[in-house]
């Protein structure tokens, strides 16, 4: 006897125990309600619901961080664009426009009242410049550089020593301090005009001054649409030869050339 | 009955058409009855449970999710109903009249195998098996459930079910050959 035969035998015996199907159906049918009631299916919560929530929270967090990063990047781009526009405008605009551009001049005294004295800040620079002047043999009659800090607006240049106002060549903001350059030589009309207009234009243009400070430019201002800069190179203030030639008296020329050639003036 | 045919019958039930339930009864009535009979071992209780099963099916068939195997689903419901019934009647001694009752109609279905081993008493054969083996043999041979469906109902690995079934058949074969159950 095989397993298959045994299975068939048992199956046959079991399946012979059949009910009276017709009678049983009548019994079932007689008890059936008219319509199924369809009980509500209760949705069993997913076993992964916690994981779904964690993943969702992480996704939201990443979305927020990403959005903040993108926003920050865009904001930085906009600020740079605005700065560029400002620089362009200030470089091209005449000095008069700066007077109306910002109220910085109103806070002039307060802004610089706390500034450190330039004599302390730049002693070696002053000596370097004076040394250059002495080497040129024109100390008495030549221009005299003296970075200084203006403590008061009026009377002007109180810390400029015994020089009167006509000695002042340039004044402006350098590294947050007002610096005054003195020249004993007589100035050309153009230089005098610069002296009158340049300081205000510089001080009324904080963005430009700040930009100049970052780049190592000591003084920057615009005159007749041309940007003029005094630069600080390796801690020594110097003017480019072209700048000096443009507005400085002739006595400056030799010094300017010496500076440009990086040599001691004769 | 295929899953598609089952779904069609369920759709009829969903619309309140009793014909859907009758189709299911025709297809599975005797198998469900045998499942109950193997569990409760009482023809009367098996008929009651079969009746209750189809009344219940009338209510819950529309909730069946298609594609999940309707035979295992129905087998699980039947088994749970039988277990509940046994719990409620645990104080009573089960009347093991089922297999004996089954013998009443066997003369009409005598086959060659019956001729050879016609004296094997089915009730004795099955009672020589363990409870697990009896249940698996009944599900497979009486209700014609596959091993996979039985594994799903009993929540056991299919390999375990197949192994137990083979063991059970081996036992039945040895008993028949030794003539101990004649």
Confidence of residue B87 (pLDDT cuts 50, 70, 90): confident
Q: Do A14 and B141 touch (CB under 8 A)?
A: yes
Residues B157 and B118 in one domain: yes
Average of pLDDT values for A240-262?
A: 51
Q: Is residue B35 part of a domain?
A: yes
The mean pLDDT value of chain B amounts to 77
The answer to whether residue B130 scores a pLDDT higher than 50 is: yes
Q: How far apart are CA A89 and CA A86, in angstroms?
A: 5
Half-sphere exposure of A243 (CA within 13 A, CB side): 19
Statement: residue B67 has pLDDT above 70: yes
Residue B46: pLDDT band with limits 50, 70, 90: confident
Are A169 and A181 in contact, with CB atoms under 8 Å apart? yes
Average pLDDT over residues A9-15: 77
Note whether B47 and B77 are same-domain residues: yes
Nearest CA-CA distance, residue A30 and chain B, Å: 10
Give A53's contacts (C-beta < 8 A, 6+ positions apart): none
- Count contacts between A and B (CB, < 8 Å): 125
DSSP per-residue string spanning A101-139: H-GGGGGHHHHHHTPPPHHHHSHHHHHHHHHHHHHTT-T
- The per-residue DSSP string of B34-62 comes to HHHHHHH--HHHHHHHHHHHHHHHHHHGG
Q: Higher model confidence: residue A83 or residue A31?
A: A31
Confirm whether B52 is domain-assigned: yes
Please tell me chain A's helix, strand, coil percentages from 3-state DSSP, rounded to the nearest 5. Answer: 55, 10, 30
- Put simply, the answer to whether B169 touches A3 (Cβ < 8 Å) is yes
The pLDDT of B94-101, averaged and rounded, is: 45
Q: How far is the CA of A140 from the CAs of A164, A185, A240, A257, in angstroms?
A: 15, 9, 23, 20
- According to the model, what pLDDT value does residue A7 have? 82
Please answer yes or no on whether A31 and B51 come within 8 Å at the CB atom: yes
Say which of B37, B59, B170 has its CB closest to residue A17.
B37
Lowest-pLDDT range of A16-25, A82-91, A156-165, B10-19: A156-165
Residues B49 and B131 both lie in one domain? no
Chain A residues closer than 8 Å to B101 by CB: 17
Interface test with B, best of A1, A2, A4, A9 (most B CBs within 10 A): A9
Residue B159: is its pLDDT beyond 50?
yes
Q: What ipTM does the predicted assembly reach?
A: 0.71
Q: What is the mean pLDDT of residues B29-40?
A: 84
CATH of the domain at B65: 1.10.1740.10
Domain that holds residue B145: 110-182
* Contact yes or no for A21 and B116 at CB 8 A: no
Predicted pLDDT at A52: 87
Residue-wise pLDDT tens digits, A165-175: 444 455 555 44
Total of domains in chain B: 2
Of B38, B69, B98, which residue constitutes the final position of a domain?
A: B98
From A71-80, A168-177, B97-106, the region with the lowest mean pLDDT? B97-106
In-domain check, residue B105 = no
The CA distance from B166 to the nearest CA of chain A, in Å, is: 9
Chain-chain contact of B169 with A7 (C-beta, under 8 angstroms): yes
* Closest-approach residue (CA) in chain B for A42: B63
* Position A118 pLDDT exceeds 60: no
Q: In A, which residues are within 8 Å of B62 by CB distance?
A: 36, 38
Position of tokens 């929540």? B155
- Domain residue extents for chain A: 49-89, 107-260
pLDDT at A180: 55
Whether residue A86 has pLDDT greater than 50: no
Say which residue, A84 or B180, is predicted with more confidence.
B180
Question: For A196-241, what is each residue's pLDDT tens digit?
Answer: 555 454 444 444 444 444 455 555 555 545 555 555 444 434 444 4
What band does A59 get if pLDDT is binned at 50, 70 and 90? very high
B180 occurs within a structural domain: yes
Asked if A40 has any chain B CB less than 8 Å from its own CB, the reply is: no
Co-location of B91 and B133 in the same domain: no
First to last CA, chain B: 37
Q: Is A22 on the interface with B (CB under 8 A)?
A: no
Q: How far apart are CA B107 and CA B120, in angstroms?
A: 13
% of chain B surpassing 70 pLDDT: 79
Residue A259: which pLDDT band, with cuts at 50, 70 and 90?
low
Which tokens is A116 given? Answer: 């450190």
A43 inside 8 A of chain B by CB: no
* The pLDDT of residue A64: 92
Check if B111 contacts A (Cβ < 8 Å).
yes
Report the share of chain B in percent with pLDDT over 90. 0
Q: Do A38 and B98 touch (CB under 8 A)?
A: no
Position A114 scores a pLDDT of 47
Distance in Å, alpha carbon of A42 to nearest chain B alpha carbon? 10
Do the Cβ atoms of B59 and A18 come within 8 Å?
A: no
Query: How would residue A39 be classed by pLDDT, with cut points 50, 70 and 90?
Result: low
**Stretch A21-34: mean pLDDT:** 83
Closest CA of chain A from B118, distance in Å: 9
Q: What is the pLDDT of residue A230?
A: 57
The arithmetic mean of pLDDT across residues A147-154, rounded, is: 32
Query: Could you tell me the pLDDT band of residue B125, with boundaries at 50, 70 and 90?
Result: low
**Span A237-266, average pLDDT:** 50
Residues B161, B132 share a domain? yes
Q: Which of B34, B164, B176 lies closest to B113, judged by CA? A: B176
Q: In this structure, are B8 and B82 located in the same domain?
A: yes
Q: Which of residues 163-182 of B touch A (CB under 8 A)?
A: 166, 169-170, 172-173, 176-177
Greater confidence, A158 or A171?
Answer: A171
| Residue where a domain terminates, one of B68, B98, B128 | B98
Boundary (domain end) residue, out of B72, B98, B124:
B98
Chain A residue with minimal CA distance to B117? A9
CA of A17 vs chain B CAs: smallest distance (Å): 4
Closest-CA distance of chain A to residue B87, Å? 24
Average pLDDT over residues B170-177: 83
Mutate to test the interface with A, among B18, B48, B51, B107 (most CBs of A within 10 A): B51
| Alpha-carbon distance A22 to nearest alpha carbon in chain B (angstroms) | 10
Do B120 and B52 belong together in one domain? no
**A17/B54 touch (CB, cutoff 8 Å), yes or no:** no
pLDDT at site A149: 33
| Binary contact (B172, A6; C-beta < 8 A) | yes
């Amino acid at each position: 006897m095989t397993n298959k035969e045994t299975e068939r035998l048992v199956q046959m015996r079991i399946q012979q125990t059949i009910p009276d199907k017709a009678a049983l159906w009548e019994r079932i049918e007689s008890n059936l309600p008219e319509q199924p009631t369809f009980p509500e299916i209760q949705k069993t919560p997913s076993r992964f619901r916690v994981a779904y929530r964690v993943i969702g929270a992480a996704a939201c967090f990443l979305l927020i961080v990403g959005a903040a990063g993108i926003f920050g990047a865009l904001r930085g781009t906009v600020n740079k664009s605005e700065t560029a526009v400002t620089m362009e405008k200030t470089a091209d605009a005449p000095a008069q426009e700066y007077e109306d551009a910002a109220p910085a001049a109103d806070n002039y005294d307060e802004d610089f009242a706390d500034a450190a004295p330039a004599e302390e800040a730049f002693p070696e620079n002053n000596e370097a410049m004076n040394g250059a002047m002495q080497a040129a043999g024109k100390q008495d009659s030549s221009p005299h550089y003296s970075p200084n800090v203006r403590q008061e607006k009026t009377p002007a240049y109180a810390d400029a020593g015994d020089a009167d106002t006509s000695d002042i060549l340039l004044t402006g903001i350098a590294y947050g301090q007002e610096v005054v350059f003195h020249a004993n030589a007589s100035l050309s009309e153009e230089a005098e005009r610069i002296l009158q207009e340049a300081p205000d234009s510089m001080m009324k243009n904080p963005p430009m001054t700040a930009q100049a400070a970052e780049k190592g430019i000591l003084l920057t201002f615009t005159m007749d649409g041309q940007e003029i800069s005094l630069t600080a190179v390796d801690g020594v203030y110097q003017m480019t030869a072209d700048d000096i030639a443009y507005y400085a008296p002739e006595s400056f020329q030799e010094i300017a050339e010496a500076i440009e050639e990086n040599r001691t003036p004769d | 009955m295929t899953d598609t045919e089952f779904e069609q019958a369920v759709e009829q039930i969903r619309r309140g058409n009793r014909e859907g339930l009758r189709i299911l009864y025709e297809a599975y009535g005797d198998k469900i009855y045998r499942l109950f009979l193997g569990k409760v071992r009482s023809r009367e209780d098996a008929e009651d449970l079969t009746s209750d099963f189809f009344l219940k099916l009338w209510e819950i068939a529309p909730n069946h999710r298609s594609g999940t195997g309707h035979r295992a689903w129905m087998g699980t419901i039947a088994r749970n109903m039988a277990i509940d019934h046994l719990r409620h009647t645990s104080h009573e001694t089960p009347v093991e009249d089922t297999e004996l009752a089954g013998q009443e109609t066997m003369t009409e279905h005598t086959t060659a195998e019956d001729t050879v081993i016609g004296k094997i008493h089915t009730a004795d054969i099955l009672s020589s098996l363990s409870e697990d083996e009896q249940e698996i043999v009944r599900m497979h041979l009486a209700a014609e459930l596959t091993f996979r469906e039985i594994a799903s109902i009993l929540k056991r690995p299919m390999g375990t079910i197949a192994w137990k079934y083979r063991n059970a058949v081996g036992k039945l074969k040895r008993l028949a050959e030794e003539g101990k159950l004649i």
